[in-house]
Amino acid sequence: MSFHCIVCIKQVPHPGHFSKINLDPVTGAIRRAGIPSVLNPLDKNVIEEALCIRERFSGKVTAITMGPPQAREVLEEAYALGADEGVLLCDLTLAGADSLATAYTLAKGIQKIGKYDLVLCGNESIDGATQQVGPQLAELLGIPHVTHVVEVNWLNEREAVVKRAIEYGYLKVKVKMPAVMTVVKSINTCRLPSVLDIMGAAGKEVQKWGCCDINGATECVGLPGSPTRVIGIVQVESKRKREMLKGSEEEMAKSAVKRLREYGVI
Amino acid sequence: MDFTFSRPHEMLRSMVREYAEKEVAPKWESYAQEGDEFPCETLSRCGQLGLIGLLVPKKYGGSEMGYLARMIAIEEISKVYAGLGANLRGWSLVPHLLTTAGTEEQKEKYLPALCRGEIQGSIATTEATSGSDFGAWPVEVTTDGNDYIINCRKVMISRSTVSDVFGILVKGEKGYSTFLIEKNMPGVQTGHREKLISCTSRNSPTGDLVITNCRVSKDYLVGPEGKGIGIALSTIGGAGRTGGAGVCLGIAEASFDIALKYSKERIIYGKPLHDLQSIKFMLGDMATRIECAKFLSYSVSWMQDQGRKSAELNKETAMAKLYASETAMSNTLKAIEILGGYGTAPEFGLIPRLKSALDMIAAAGSNNTLRRNIGDAVVA
């Protein structure tokens, strides 16, 4: 039996240029002009996990992403790392999607791809960081999901015990395939592509599908399909009260404790 | 004119940067320590990633991605640790020599292992008594029937104690010839190890190669007998100098980044340090020099990728290495000045970069030799 793993990946602004990103005060949209784009860093771990599963069970890895034409670049990176096939969901009608419309579009794309055993996503993207797409995708596909995955122990090709991070510990859950898993960075260490891998990835064919190709309902994709509305943007200002304490170290420590108690901090 | 990098070049840069930051950065101080134990893991890892065979055809184990790719790889590694960048430059010289002038048998025998990083090679041309003054070299090779007998002492040979094969240039009765010599051949010895500024580090064993009555057959001759100078200089210029430019570019950029970061974080007179006009002038000069060095280095690599022969690009390769080398020196010194008292503190990493910049003044043709070459070309 061969195992088909679909990895959902995303092109995001380069983290090194985050300080240059600003928001449109009217629409609330992120202004990305002039900011280079990269593969969401966590998605490398997603691809790595899929490659490990392929090495274990054989089969194939399909990478899927939604975005503008240049989002093809992240599929090339997936190819370089070892993905077998790439799908780009690209259409003007898909623009402006929130997490729900994104999950809907990805679900439609995945359904068009056909049979699959596992859908792997990053727990969050470095830009939006909603953590919503994975669970929403699972709901739309009608399959179980596990989030914050740090370890997968396969019982067989149809079943795995998954360790997921929760506050103050871990939770182990048994999940049957097909399922959606969203992984965190500590799940694995990513491999690097070789020069030949990179050269092989360039120009490799990518399936490009628009809204019609995936039988998407226009009211469910892009801006019309996005119930999330940005109603305001607030610039967070950090204001700190500063107070210099005087005296010996012991006196200053006692004063600090006293003042912190007065402020109700301790 | 289109100055954009291709997508594979961008992906290569990203991959090499990740390798350098994740795998080299945590260990570079260990590599730079004094000692004899060469860090072989860097050789095998660079081979595994395909960074050694960038100029070698796929049929011999390389990728043939080209000179610009090699420039990018050396530059990115040198930003983190110039010592490894210099080795990556050196590791591709014998492969370049064999690719451009070797026989089919030599290519099949050596190139796959060299590209994989299973063995390493060095170029050995500098003659002990008269260096680059070829005319003053003594006769180093004679013929005996179908064999050659080699006697020579080559000095300042990078990785002399750890290389498995040496591409040597020797003077004979029919002029200068290039041979490939294996370290285990009878009569081949490594001699004195230099104690220069960075040559004592375990990463950079540099010293003499002494060859005494070493008998080799024609199978070890690289290219036609008597044509050795052109063959060796093609590799030294086409791959050695451009590689040196890449190393220097990495040093210059890293020094600038360190200075810029410090000047943003250091508050003086209530403002970031870079608000002082004198500091801003220095940062401006450093950035401008980097862009000039990049242009010279990338453009000559691009010309090589378009099929221009190394012999046609002597002036351009010399300009790239000369300017990048002086930029590396200038930028490290300016960065030290900007950091003030912290400029020589180990945690900022400027002194190792200054040492590497000093090394590069002499590597692959000293800067004054390059000036003379450029001058010869422009007055011709």
Q: Quick check: A1 pLDDT over 70?
A: no
Of B280, B260, B248, whose CA–CA distance to B359 is shortest? B248
Domain boundary among B98, B116, B134: B116
In sequence order, which residues have a C-beta less than 8 Å from that of residue B243 and are 6 or more positions away? B70, B71, B74, B88, B89, B90, B92, B93, B364
Structural domain range at position A53: 3-220
Instruction: Give me B49's structure tokens.
Output: 């990633």
CATH of the domain at B89: 1.10.540.10
Domain-located, residue A122: yes
Structural domain range at position B317: 229-379
Domain-located, residue A257: no
Q: Give the total number of structural domains in chain A.
A: 1
Closest Cα in chain A to B57: A196
In sequence order, what DSSP letters do the residues of A114-137 get, joined into one string?
Answer: ---SEEEEES--SSS----HHHHH
| ipTM of predicted assembly, 2 dp | 0.92
Mean pLDDT of B29-34: 90
pLDDT at B373: 93
Q: Which among B11, B50, B54 is the nearest to A76, CB-wise? A: B11
B351 and B238 co-located in one domain: yes
Closest Cα in chain B to A195: B50
Cβ contacts (< 8 Å) between A199 and chain B: which residues? 8, 63, 65
Q: Residue for token digits 């402020």?
A: A263
Q: Quick check: A244 pLDDT over 90?
A: no
B139 and B239 co-located in one domain: no
Domain boundary among B227, B242, B263: B227
B179 and B253 co-located in one domain: no
Domain-located, residue A112: yes
- Does A202 reach chain B within 8 Å, measured CB to CB? yes
Domain-located, residue A255: no
CATH of the domain at B180: 2.40.110.10
Cβ contacts (< 8 Å) between A201 and chain B: which residues? 8, 11
B278 and B196 co-located in one domain: no
B319 and B334 co-located in one domain: yes
- pLDDT tens digits, A201-239: 988 999 999 999 999 999 999 999 999 887 777 767 777
Mean pLDDT of B312-336: 97
Q: Cβ distance B103 to B224 under 8 Å? A: no
* Residue A220 DSSP SS3: helix
Instruction: Give me B167's structure tokens.
Output: 């591409």
* Residue A159 DSSP SS3: strand
Domain-located, residue B148: yes
Radius of gyration of chain B (CA): 21
Contact A193 B8 (CB under 8 A): no
- pLDDT tens digits, B35-53: 889 999 999 999 999 999 9
pLDDT band at A122 (very low <50, low <70, confident <90, very high): very high
Domain-located, residue B1: no
Contact B11 A80 (CB under 8 A): yes
Cβ contacts (< 8 Å) between A15 and chain B: which residues? none
Amino acid at site A151: E
Of B112, B24, B39, whose CA–CA distance to B73 is shortest? B24
Q: Which of A156-165, A192-201, B357-366 has the lowest mean pLDDT?
A: B357-366
Q: Give the total number of structural domains in chain B.
A: 3
In sequence order, which residues have a C-beta less than 8 Å from that of residue A155 and are 6 or more positions away? A161, A174
Domain-located, residue B188: yes
pLDDT at A241: 77
Domain-located, residue A262: no
Instruction: Give me A176's structure tokens.
Output: 């049957």
Domain-located, residue B168: yes
B108 and B74 co-located in one domain: yes
Instruction: Give me B93's structure tokens.
Output: 């010289």
% of chain B residues with pLDDT over 70 = 100
Q: Which residues of chain B approach chain A closer than 8 Å at the C-beta?
A: 6-8, 11-12, 14-15, 18-19, 48-51, 53-54, 58, 63, 65, 69
Q: Quick check: B119 pLDDT over 70?
A: yes
Domain-located, residue B106: yes
pLDDT at B199: 76
B348 and B241 co-located in one domain: yes
Q: Quick check: A44 pLDDT over 80?
A: yes
B207 and B258 co-located in one domain: no
- Taking the alpha carbons of B149, B154, B158, B162 in that order, is the dihedral positive or negative? positive
Domain boundary among B227, B253, B283: B227
Q: Which among B8, B49, B63 is the nearest to A192, CB-wise? A: B49
Q: How many CB pairs under 8 A join A and B?
A: 42
Give B133→chain A minimum CA distance, Å: 39
Cβ contacts (< 8 Å) between A192 and chain B: which residues? 15, 18-19, 49
d(CA B292, CA B303): 17
Q: Quick check: B301 pLDDT over 80?
A: yes
More confident call, B364 vs B262:
B262
Contact B50 A195 (CB under 8 A): yes
Domain-located, residue A248: no
Domain-located, residue B2: no
B154 and B103 co-located in one domain: no
B108 and B139 co-located in one domain: no
Domain-located, residue B214: yes
Give B372→chain A minimum CA distance, Å: 37
pTM of the complete model: 0.91
Q: Quick check: A93 pLDDT over 90?
A: yes
Closest Cα in chain B to A200: B8
Domain-located, residue B125: yes
Domain-located, residue A78: yes
In sequence order, which residues have a C-beta less than 8 Å from that of residue B140 and are 6 or more positions away? B127, B150, B151, B152, B170, B171, B172
B179 and B265 co-located in one domain: no
Please give the mean pLDDT across all residues of chain B.
95
Mean pLDDT of B249-271: 96
Closest Cα in chain A to B70: A195
pLDDT at B84: 96
CATH of the domain at A192: 3.40.50.620
Domain-located, residue A228: no
- pLDDT tens digits, B189-239: 998 888 887 777 889 999 999 999 999 999 999 999 999 999 998 999 899
Q: Which among B7, B18, B54 is the nearest to A195, CB-wise? A: B54
B175 and B190 co-located in one domain: yes
